[in-house]
Amino acid sequence: MSFDIIETWLAKNPEAVGCKRDGQSIFRELALFQDYHGLPAFKQALVDFMAEIRGNKVSFEPNNIVLTAGATSANETLMFCLAEHGDAFLLPTPYYPGFDRDLKWRTGVQIVPIHCTSSNCFRITASAIEEAYQQAQKKNLTVKGILITNPSNPLGTTMTRPELNLLINFITDKQIHLISDEIYSGTVFNSPSFISIMEALKDMNMEKNNRVHIVYSLSKDLGLPGFRVGAIYSNDPTVVSAAVKMSSFGLVSSQTQYLLSVMLSDKKFRNHYIVENQNRLLKRQRKLVSGLEKSGIRCLESNAGLFCWVDMRHLLSSDTFEAEMELWERIIYHVKLNISPGSSCHCNEPGWFRVCFANMSEDALELAMQRLKSFVGSIKKHNHQESEKSRKESHIRKWFFRLSFQSFNEQDQL
């Protein structure tokens, strides 16, 4: 959605693209093996960018960051570092479907859901965390930590300070770890403002806590998933050391690091991009919400992310996940819109869907809204016809019953 801003910068900075510095080629320098720790210039530029997104309320130490090939690699690496095969991590629902792959497939780690519900807008509660922890213990699973996404994918919401404080107190009490996946931190386009787990720790005088770790990437905030740039931030030197060794299985290329180090060191570009991208996200989100409302569909109130958590429970034929999948298949195959069913995100309430709004043109979004409105209209028409049919059948049954009853009485009198 904001590629034009990046493309404008690239056009004005051909040296960064052409592997040059001060007019001199540095191709050979970049083409050879680099230190697994990453280019110092890039790590400094990255932590500065992370701090700016968080309003410079917190700062990050470059030596505490480990570069990985995207957030996928970062999350898996942390699982290998913090848990053994068969151990468990608690995750609030609904959560990103890819975690079932990223956290479990190769590590053998188990996911135990912290069930959150629409009754409180899917906020985390103390009772829900404790229930998940007890559930894991009943299964003889050793809980090694909690993993959260803040801002949330798929909810598009930021966590409140009470939620973050609750999590910090819980992991401190249980002596387990907390991973805060903050890859959408730069997409917060409306109030309330984003509170990083590092800011919450700082306010509790616990900023050096070595049981809290952050996952970050440039896939969402800069829209560069193809560049495969992710990072782990931890105050635990043992975790950093182990993660650096494991990063050899998924390094970020030297030319990518160099290009982005130049780009993110440009403060004017950084400031302009962050503000303009958030303004565009707000405009696009409002367009989606407005379009859905015209179709009689509500969304969970959101302030971040590239998607909305959409309530289509009233369109289900029944309150079941089978009905949810039936509706999803109709939207996919007949309406030709690609949305994610809530069950794929482990939501325990059928009828919720994740709908993206930032990965298409405005014209495409407008067309999507038109198709969805037409589809919902057809469902309402069908339901009305079925209701009329049912009403008529009921009327006929009542009439037939009265007639039969009258005939029976007449025969009885005879």
Residues known to be catalytic: 96, 181, 183, 220
The span from the CA of 377 to the CA of 23, in Å, is 61
| Closest residue by Cα to residue 71 from 297, 187, 227 | 227
The span from the CA of 128 to the CA of 140, in Å, is 19
Stated as kind and residue range, the H or E segment containing 261 is helix 254-264
Q: Which amino acid is at 162?
A: P
| Closest residue by Cα to residue 56 from 218, 267, 213 | 267
Burial class, 327, CB count within 10 angstroms (exposed 0-12 / middle 13-18 / buried 19+): buried
21 φ/ψ angles, rounded to the nearest 5 degrees: -135, 120
| Closest residue by Cα to residue 184 from 302, 58, 263 | 302
CA distances (Å), origin 162, targets 16, 165, 167, 398: 43, 5, 9, 57
| Closest residue by Cα to residue 304 from 198, 228, 231, 220 | 220
How many Cβ atoms are within 10 Å of 409's Cβ, its own excluded?
10
| Closest residue by Cα to residue 49 from 256, 181, 218 | 218
Residues pairing with 89 in the sheet:
111, 145
Q: Which residue has the tokens 């770890």?
A: 177
How many Cβ atoms are within 10 Å of 255's Cβ, its own excluded?
15
How many Cβ atoms are within 10 Å of 407's Cβ, its own excluded?
10
CA distances (Å), origin 192, targets 152, 159, 188, 211: 14, 9, 9, 26
| Closest residue by Cα to residue 345 from 106, 26, 128, 92 | 92
